[in-house]
Structures are given as C-alpha cells and as structure tokens.
A and B are shown apart, each in its own frame.
Chain A
C-alpha cells in the first residue's frame, strides 16, 4: 500500500516535470533547483544542529568484543575501543565500509532448530549503492565547475577505464543500477520488509530510480546537449541563472527529481548520512570506568540515606550486633 502511494507520488512528480518542459516553463528550471538546494542546506543543517544541541548524558557504547582490562588479555581495539582514536577508527570503518552490516546473518527455524547463515548481500548491495552514488555525484561536478578539477577528471577516467560502448559506460553507473535494483526488489519482495516499510522508504528509492533512468537515457538514448547543460550548470553555480533553451523533457525530469530528492532529504530518513556519525553507541570509547563521563543535566535525586535506614532498622541492627553509627538515639559512637 505504501509502495503504491509512493509510486503515485513519484509518477505525479514526473508528470509535473514533463508538463513544465512541454509548456517551456523555463522559470521552473531555475526556481526548483534553487529552492531545493536551499531546503537541503537549511533543513539538513538544522537537523544536524538539532542533534548536536542535545547532550549525551551517558557513555553507552555498544561493545562488540573483549574490553581492555588485564594486560595479558587481548582486547578488541576496533570492536571495543578504549581510546578516542580507537573509537575514531571504529567509526571510520562503520562509515566507509559499513562494518556492522557486514556482521549480518540470517536466522531461520528449521525443524525445531535455529540455523544461522552468513548473509552479506545487504552489506554488498548497500556498499555498492553508496560508493557508486558518491562517484556519480563527484562526476557531476564537471557540470558546475570550470575548469574541471583534476580529481573529477581522474575519477571519470578511472570510472570509464574499460572504454566499452560509445559513449563509454561508467562502472559506477552499472554498479549503481544493479545495487538500486537489488534494494528496490528486496523492499518490494521480502514480505516482512514490505510490512515494515513506510511511504518514505519506497518514495526515495523510486526517486533515485527515476534519476538513474533519466540520466542514463540522456547519456545513451536521447542524448543531451552537454555544452548547453554545462552552461546551465555553470550559470546556476555562478548565481546567474539562465534557462536551458530548448530543454529536453528528460533533462527537466532529471532536474526536478534530483531537486525533489534534495529538498525532501532533510525531512526523510536520508539524514542518516550525518546521523550515523553521531551515534553514541558507536562513536564513544568504552572507557567508562577509567574516565568519568559528565552528564550536563545530572541533577540530585531523592535517595534513602544511610542515616534514615539505620534509624528505621536500628533495633534490628543492634540485636544482630551489626555496627551502628548511632548506638542510642542522639549518641554518636566514636570508633
């Protein structure tokens, strides 16, 4: 149901974009990307600041390996870091290689027995998806920068190193398409995952698929006028926008979908991009007993003090010959 709703919303946006192209509303091509970019910047910064403003009252590291305790016991510095550097390394591996996801396994009940098997498909799909997306984003910088930075040129050359097809097929495009297809198929086909998925989960996948398809179409089928696109991109980047005329409908759709994704980003789960870095179970070292963690709002609470306790159980304590602070009412004992 949520998938269907997301599909309708997605198609609606495609239709609107196509209509804009049909009626040559070149203003759309200026307003939409700027609005989206502004929403993205402001919204995303707000989300990050909102998290950052909230304190981390306790050091609640999730430990996934041996603690550093006695010198002769080998500790697991990556899975259970005891220093800031260790936590930094752990975090880096999480962000760059999705290490926790690599741990994934599947548990199945087979004739009364739980069976576990390794399952790295999601890890592979997610890693392929994110890295190829990053590569594609970096390649797109060529449309906004003049001269094209050497790094961007280098990435392009590496990405198209096989020199297959004309124009060259980029490795990242192939990987991205496969990974995205896998992620979509998985979400639609796995009944449990479908049960849990929200509108938003499907919607962002459809947007990405639309962006990928329109992009590939422009490269291989309905070839875009790259010079015009670049001029348009540069004009946007220079804050001196002029509409792309005449704009192909595919390009407008591509642009509107990208803008929708960017504008929707801060309101969606995609904020995990920054949130992952802030996760207190992963980004703190497990050195709780060695270094005190300060809770900025640590406030006094109502406790049951020893004196009250001794008073309540005074007779019983005395009968049991347990040492007392106060032998008889009001008479302190020196020991």
Chain B
C-alpha cells in the first residue's frame, strides 16, 4: 500500500497553472460544513452541500462578497497586502511544503498556492492588473477559482515551514487563513472545522462533551491513577480561588493516546501539590476557530480569560497542544486581553518567575515542568521508560510560532534513557507537519493526510532503522490523534505519546506503591534490563 502513494509524479508540471479546474477525488478533500453547525455559529450561507457537487449553490452575490472581503482584509492586515505584493517567485519555498513533497502537485508549492489568491488580487486591486489583465499576472474570479481555492487552501496545514525559508518571511499560513475567511464568507467551510468550533462554542470543547461527562472522564482518570500508583487524587473542577487554571485540549480527556498524557499531568500536579482547577466551561485549550477566521478564533478563545477571571485564579497553565499555543502565545492577549485581573506567573514550587509570560500570564506545561526538573523538585526513575527508544516531533506551532524547542527535550532526556533526534532538516524550526493540522485531520481526507505526512514519517523511518526508535513523542493533540495512523501506514511499529505521559511514567510519587505497569497498562521493564 505505501508503495502506491510513493509513486509520486516526478515529471515536471506542464501547461498553464492559471487553469483553475480541480477534481474532487475521494480521499483528497474534506466534507462541506453542515447547515446545523454553520447556523449555530451564525456564519453566512448555511446549506447542505458537498465539494463534489457540480453545483455549489453559492450565494447570488458571491463574487461581490469575495471581492469586498478581500478589500476589507487588504486594509486590515499588513501581512496580507504585503504578501500579495512582494513575492519574487525565487523558488526557495517550492520543496519546503510537505504537501508538495508528498504529492508533487505544483499548486501545493507555497508560492503557487499563494499565487491562486494573488492572481485575483492583481486583477481586481492593482492598476496594472486592471489594465493588462493576464499579462500583469491577473486572473478572472470564476466559480472554478472558488473551487480551486477550497481544494488547495484546505490542503495547507498553516504550518509555516515555508515562512522559515522565504527571504521575506512570506507566511502561507497567513494567506491560507485569509483565503479560508473568504471561503467562509460565501458558505464554503469544511465540517471538520465548523462542527468542532460550534461544539466548542456551545459546550466549551470541540468534542461537544457536556460538563457532567467532562467530570466523569476526569474522575475516571483519577481512578486510573489510583490503580497505577495506589494514590488517591482529586481533580478540582470550576473551583474558585485556586492559584492556577489548567487548560488542556479536550482530546486529552477523551482521546487515545492523549489520555496517558492526562494521567501524567494529574500525577505531576498531585505530586507537587499544585493548587489548581480545571474548568468545565473552558474545557478546551485548542481553538478550531483558528482554522476558520480571526473572528471565530477570538470568539472561542474568549472563554479562557473569562473563566480565569470568574474563578479568580492567579495565572493559567496550558497543556500539550500545538495550535492552542499559537493562539495563547500570539493571539490571546491581543484579542481578549489585557489579563490585568491575573498575576504574573510564579512557580509555587520553585519560585521561578516566568518572565516571558508576564503579560499574557499563561505558561506552557513544558516550561513549567522543565523548571521543576531543573530545580530537582521531581524524583524520576527513567528506567521505567526503557522499553521506548524515543524521538521527538516538534509540532509546527510551538516551534515556528513560539520557539518552544528545548523545554520538551529537556523533559524527555530526563524522563527517558534512550533519546534520538531525527535528521536536522526535519526537526526544530524545520520540522515537518503531521499533515493533518489546521482542521484537515478527518478520515475522508486520508490520502492527502498520508501524502502530507510522508516527509515526517520518512524521518521517523530513518531513526527507526538507525536507532530502533519505537516511540514518537510530541506535544500536540492533533499530532497524537493523527500520527498513529500515519505511523501505521508508513512506519509500522512506532507508537505515539505525549511528553507528559513519559514524565508520568518516570515520576516517583511520594507514597506510591510498587508500580507494575506503565500508564498504558503495559508491564514495566525489569530493572537492569536493557
């Protein structure tokens, strides 16, 4: 099976890219947003439709809406206007996109992906384009262009890898975000984004878990910790006056292997006696609004500060999640701040002032735990992770929109004895996306995901062959949800885990019973083995 997808067309593209016709092949697109979720969020033009329909039932004034939307955004985002103007098509970004590497589809090259929008910008918003049309690189806005946008802007995971290599820092994520806003404005969103966003708006989390079920799953996790360690723990929910509000992606308490990471968090918090609470209202750290529009990002993100204020906590601690941290780091304070009702975060255990978070007042759990380890506040038995040969997958957003590179590595190297890096071109700021980010992680889109994830999988395969790596550690909920499928397909025999799962495995808790299994219920390796 992998051989089939690997037959990536190597012949150079021919003809004229300005032809906008696309084919919606099974496995290469996401389903359209349902009228129910679209209406719940009050987004435009809800209707029953699918991308493979011949007739998309666009609103009658779709062209005017798109052009007006472009104009508005050209005047609101310097990034957008600038990135429409300054690309010189030098070619540095071409082979930096995982979707291009996995598909050889020329329109997946970042410069050309942007050109799909740029050609419309030139035709309708520049003098030369209005006069000279195609000669000035302009293109008419037709219904086929809308379909082409839908196809290719939902084949970008907003990972920003191209932006690292661009001599002007042109960020395709920014262009994709604007393009998706435009598509949403005429009712062309995808359900894998809009439905979680609608769920999140209503219940507080993407999975639509109501508060009592939220409590159930946390109690279940607490019982699990008790079984593993013999220690009874409490998970406070909506408790006022706690020092810290802990926010995590909802997959952590409902998905696997995320769940083991949750066990790790809970064990850690109990061991250090953290005065914290979780919230059933702000029960989602992730933000699928980011994959739809800036406005929806803000709408979903608002509840985190709102809840922190209501619960009168001092600061916010955030769990392992990639795009959640793009929002918390680069958007939250600007959108919903200032967080003047909180206090600059200080670790209650080590007294460390998290100076880098003094305004937003939100600390990444890897920063928090690395600080604990550095000050020797945790006792670890890394032998318990001996069955794993670990490598670390940098998630796109923490690496390229934050720079959280060393903290998770520091934790891993303390919690595990066998750690191996993947090749340099595939980690840190050059990391390859899982291929399923930005709302594309749905099964109907499987072929695109497997293709897009190929460069990542290939690097894992390299360390598997060289160092017998059998565990891919990461700090992102979408990674944990989609990398197992990717591994199963390209690199069978490699499992996926969160960093705090491995920390939880290694953590020696005060008064714990002799542990016989790891957090997954697998027997612990014999001491001295390996």
Contact = CB atoms under 8 A, between A and B. Distances in A.
Contact of B109 (A105, A109, A196, A289): A196
Given A50-B81, A109-B8, A198 B137 contact: yes
A303 B429 contact: no
Interface in A235-279: 267, 269, 271-272, 275-276, 278-279
Contacts, number: 308
Interface stretch (A135-143, A169-177, A215-223, A315-323): A315-323
Contact of B79 (A60, A64, A73, A291): A60
B509 interface: no
Interface in B374-425: 374, 399-407, 410, 423, 425
A140 B399 CA distance: 46
B298 interface: yes
A197 B244 CA distance: 53
Nearest to A75: B403
A65 B405 contact: yes
B358 A290 contact: yes
B82 A275 contact: yes
Given A66-B403, A94-B167, A290-B358, A79 B429 contact: yes
A100 interface: yes
B13 A195 contact: yes
A288 B360 contact: yes
Interface in B174-224: 174, 201-204, 210-212, 215-216
Nearest to A70: B371
B88 A272 contact: yes
Interface stretch (B143-151, B251-259, B331-339, B518-526): B331-339
Instruction: Name the residue in B76, B88, B171, B425 with the highest tally of chain A Cβ atoms < 10 Å from its Cβ.
Output: B88
Given A70-B407, A103-B165, A198-B89, A63 B333 contact: no
A196 B115 contact: yes
Contacts of B371: 70
A199 B299 CA distance: 43
A70 B165 contact: no
13 contacts: A62-B400, A69-B367, A70-B352, A73-B410, A74-B406, A76-B403, A112-B3, A198-B137, A267-B136, A289-B360, A291-B359, A292-B337, A292-B338
Counting from the closest, the 6 A-B pairs by CB-CB distance are A67-B403, A191-B12, A275-B86, A281-B169, A63-B403, A320-B212
Interface of B: 3, 6, 8, 10, 12-14, 16-17, 42, 74-79, 81-82, 85-92, 94-96, 101, 106, 109, 111-112, 115, 126-128, 135-137, 160, 163-171, 174, 201-204, 210-212, 215-216, 237-240, 280-281, 294-295, 298-299, 302-303, 306-307, 310, 328-331, 333-335, 337-338, 352, 354-362, 367, 370-371, 374, 399-407, 410, 423, 425-426, 428-429, 454-455, 458-459, 461-462
Interface of A: 1, 5, 47, 50-51, 53-70, 72-76, 79-80, 82, 94, 98, 100-101, 103-109, 112-114, 116, 122, 126, 186, 190-193, 195-201, 267, 269, 271-272, 275-276, 278-282, 286-295, 297-298, 301-306, 309-310, 312-313, 316-317, 319-320, 322-323, 325, 335
